[in-house]
Amino acid sequence: MGLGKTIQSITFLQKIFDHGIWGPFLVVAPLSTIANWQREFESWTTINAVVYHGSQTSRDMLHTYEWFCRDENVSTLIPGCYKVHAVITTYEMIVLDSSHLRDVDWRCLIIDEAHRLKNLSCKLVESLSYMQLEHKVLLTGTPLQNNVEELFALLSFLQPETFNCQQAFSLEFGNLKNNAQVEKLQALLKPMMLRRLKEDVEKSLAPKQETIIEELTSIQKKYYRAILERNFEFLAKGTSGGNVPNLMNTMMELRKCCNHPYLIKGAEDKIMQEYRMMSNEQNPLQAMIQSSGKLVLIDKLLPRLKEGGHKVLVFSQMVRVLDILEDYLVQRSYLYERIDGCIRGNERQMAIDRFSKKGSDRFVFLLCTRAGGLGINLTAADTVIIFDSDWNPQNDLQAQARCHRIGQQKPVKIYRLITRNSYEREMFDKASLKLGLDKAVLQSISGRQDQVTNQVAPQLSKTEVEDLLKRGAYGAIMDDDEAASKFCEEDIDQILDRRAHTVTLESGEKGSTFSKASFVSNVDHSDISLDDPNFWEKWAKKADLDLKQLKDNKLILEIPRHRKQTRRFGGNSDDAEIFAEIGSESEDSDKFRSRAGGAGGGQRKGWGRRDCFRIEKCLLTYGWGRWTAIQTRGRFSGAITHQELEELSRVVLMYCLKYYNGDEKIKYFMWDLITPTEVAITTGVDLRNHEGLSAPVPRGRKGKRAKEESTSGRHKDEQSKREWAADIDIDALLPDEGF
């Protein structure tokens, strides 16, 4: 990871190209990296490389005009004579256009992030098996992630004749118990694997530090306990029968609670209501920050990093966590970029370029660990914050390697946020043990003769699922709110000094910081054995729970589970799938169907701040009227039509005009601009020669004015003059004071 696999592979193709093997070559890479692959081909080689991606029309045109050479005399294609030397595409295109690609005799195949092939039954492996491939190169920094069977999948793809029986391979290497087995497997891999470590390739690479910080706020503790109480019936049943899925669902709810309670259905409204009652403040930002220990830490840490000139990558498993962080960054006025599963390939590369260019003002890069943790280069950043850890620790290592790679000149600090007294802590310990398998099998292939460990990657059994839930149960009933309050009051220096453990991995060392990381020790408050068959009954007694009234606990809303499109968090958002954008429209999407102006569907209840911020950003980027571009790239919180986009944009601009105290010509131009088309036609409004276009637009702070009552009054007069605007209640349509 970060050792120049891309450059080495490209120069390898150039070398065989110079010897008269002109391709065609096929490069398969993640969507985030295909633009970088093309850029490196142009920088390092004379090979004609094209990107095979995009719409069906664009791919058909590429196949028609760029694929084969033409006979100049008869203007017909010459089969077998390829105009293109290298084709760069994605895993998805291999599956989608297998019929086109399988007709080509590929001289060399290069697969980036090849651990995608770890499942032999996946469609990608099936599609590749039908293709004619003379030579295969697999690039990956993590060939072993969970078990040895995944390694067999890669070997079988490379040499299907030799590795043709997974059962025999598993029988011999599936359970590595002694050094003899490990050494035999290493000997098997050595002829076909080139293993390089960072300390082998670049000894001057800046050291990496990993800091583990743990704390749980009182609000999180309350919801943690509420989740356990709500699911007490399932917990008491243990792993008997078909109860394991219920336990897994409980684990997911606890995981969301450890990240931020706003991820739980109905929690945001209750927290905001309690915050207003306790503090008499209308500050949604402070309520959001104080609800999560992780966000409290980030709010204290980012100003220090900003002051020091650092640039930050923030990784999370959950798309909705990125939504919360994005909302926080907007309200704190931090400039940022974002990559998740919704961002298209060309937009991903543009975001990377904006963040990485010299003198860039972008401070934070929000990334989904799965979408943004592979293959991209972000050495402009020197700080990584892992908001929540992955069950597969190799994914977190991939995320860290986005900035801790060759070309990094600064020391890299990695802050891993893990909540104290929760199941998340135990989950991280178990996940980290998986790295022992990687070290045992692959470490000495680089030429080093290290002592082999006997550590084997654990599989999560039913008992371990139940054990994980028990681990954090006592943390939820401990009356330790004073510690949570103290944590929120401490400054960042005190937190890093008292609540963190730092491990420095010098460039000359090897191994992972996972195996060396230790945690802040905690007093064991449990006086009940985890193996006690009556554990949950005794826990309930210790927690003073009335089992008959547990079902009346309304802190966690009880709703049927639906598969639905991902919705961004907010006062009216649904608790949907949080790891990817899946499913179809739900019945709740009807709330987007009503019009803002009252006509054609009734008065809308109001737009959330998430969509308001989105439309504001899109208007600044694309301008008024480009509704298709805004709809496609705006990442709104649900299905939204062009008409609804126009209505929301109109309301937002009317709100801006309410407090605008600048040039009157500009104001009149904006009013005419947002006038509905049917009204503009009847009144003869002409925007092309509008006098407001020649007026100078105020910039910066000079363009901002205080929200004076007189300005608001003049706005009401202007609004009342226009029949189409007279009945629009801006305050009702934009009820969120956070906007």
Determine contact, residues 517/210, Cβ cutoff 8 Å. yes
**Structural element, H or E, at residue 69:** strand 68-71
User: What is the pLDDT, as a whole number, of residue 687?
Assistant: 58
Reported as a single tens digit per residue, the pLDDT across 146-200 is: 667 777 888 888 888 888 777 787 777 766 666 777 777 778 777 887 777 655 5
More confident residue, 188 or 330: 330
User: What is the pLDDT, as a whole number, of residue 64?
Assistant: 78
Reported as a single tens digit per residue, the pLDDT across 219-237 is: 888 887 777 777 766 566 5
Choose the final residue of a domain: 170, 193, 216: 193
Residue 434: closest CA among 412, 411, 449, 456: 456
Determine contact, residues 311/413, Cβ cutoff 8 Å. no
Mean pLDDT of 245-268: 80
Parent domain of 25: 5-193
* Band of pLDDT at residue 482, cut at 50, 70 and 90: low
Share of the chain above pLDDT 70, in %: 55
- State how many domains the chain has: 3
Whether residue 734 is predicted with pLDDT greater than 80 in this model: the reply is: no
* Band of pLDDT at residue 27, cut at 50, 70 and 90: very high
Alpha helices in 66-165 (DSSP H): 91-96, 98-101, 123-129, 148-158
Structural domain contains residue 257: yes
252 in the same domain as 138: no
415 in the same domain as 333: yes
Mean pLDDT of 672-697: 64
Pair of tokens at residue 244: 């394991």
670 in the same domain as 714: yes
Whether residue 34 is predicted with pLDDT greater than 50 in this model: the reply is: yes
For every residue of 234-268, DSSP letters joined together read HHHHTTSTT-HHHHHHHHHHHHHHHH-GGGSTTHH
Whether residue 307 is predicted with pLDDT greater than 70 in this model: the reply is: yes
Q: Residues near 226 by Cβ (< 8 Å), separated by ≥ 6? A: 553, 555, 556
User: What is the pLDDT, as a whole number, of residue 545?
Assistant: 58
213 in the same domain as 340: yes
User: What is the pLDDT, as a whole number, of residue 450?
Assistant: 39
* Band of pLDDT at residue 109, cut at 50, 70 and 90: very high
**Structural element, H or E, at residue 208:** strand 208-213
| Range among 559-563, 589-593, 639-643 rated most confident | 639-643
User: What is the pLDDT, as a whole number, of residue 161?
Assistant: 82
182 in the same domain as 242: no
- Which of 13-17, 407-411, 661-665 has the lowest average pLDDT? 407-411
Residue 716: closest CA among 705, 725, 704: 725
Residue 201: closest CA among 382, 490, 406: 406
Give me the chain's average pLDDT, please: 69
More confident residue, 276 or 551: 276
User: What is the pLDDT, as a whole number, of residue 695?
Assistant: 52
The alpha carbon of 237 is separated from its chain's Cα centroid by a whole number of angstroms, namely: 35
Choose the final residue of a domain: 505, 525, 552: 552
548 in the same domain as 494: yes
336 in the same domain as 483: yes
168 in the same domain as 256: no
For every residue of 125-136, DSSP letters joined together read HHHHHTSEES-E
Q: Rounded to whole angstroms, what are the CA distances from 666 to 85, 619, 663, 706? A: 54, 16, 5, 18
Reported as a single tens digit per residue, the pLDDT across 70-93 is: 766 656 666 667 888 889 998 888
3-class secondary structure for 284-344?
HHHHHHHCCHHHHHHHHHHHHHHHCCCCEEEEECCHHHHHHHHHHHHHCCCCEEEECCCCC
597 in the same domain as 512: no
* Band of pLDDT at residue 572, cut at 50, 70 and 90: very low
Pair of tokens at residue 739: 């906007």
Chain position carrying tokens 């990093």: 305
Structural domain contains residue 216: yes
User: What is the pLDDT, as a whole number, of residue 531?
Assistant: 53
More confident residue, 341 or 523: 341
Question: Domain of 36: which CATH number?
Answer: 3.40.50.10810
Structural domain contains residue 388: no
Structural domain contains residue 200: no
Q: Rounded to whole angstroms, what are the CA distances from 680 to 186, 485, 595? A: 75, 57, 19
Reported as a single tens digit per residue, the pLDDT across 405-442 is: 544 557 778 888 877 767 676 676 666 555 554 544 54
For every residue of 93-109, DSSP letters joined together read HHHHTHHHHTTSEESEE
User: What is the pLDDT, as a whole number, of residue 25?
Assistant: 92
User: What is the pLDDT, as a whole number, of residue 598?
Assistant: 37
Determine contact, residues 145/390, Cβ cutoff 8 Å. no
Whether residue 387 is predicted with pLDDT greater than 80 in this model: the reply is: yes
Reported as a single tens digit per residue, the pLDDT across 121-140 is: 788 888 888 888 889 998 88
Backbone angles phi, psi at 49, to 5 degrees: -110, 135
Structural domain contains residue 577: no
Structural domain contains residue 385: no
User: What is the pLDDT, as a whole number, of residue 26?
Assistant: 92
Structural domain contains residue 578: no
More confident residue, 549 or 707: 549
Mean pLDDT of 610-622: 80
511 in the same domain as 604: no
Structural domain contains residue 557: no
User: What is the pLDDT, as a whole number, of residue 608?
Assistant: 72
User: What is the pLDDT, as a whole number, of residue 434?
Assistant: 52
How far is it, in rounded angstroms, from Cα 355 to Cα 249? 37
- Which of 86-90, 234-238, 389-393, 672-676 has the lowest average pLDDT? 234-238
450 in the same domain as 519: yes
User: What is the pLDDT, as a whole number, of residue 706?
Assistant: 42
How far is it, in rounded angstroms, from Cα 254 to Cα 426? 13
More confident residue, 709 or 193: 193
408 in the same domain as 325: yes
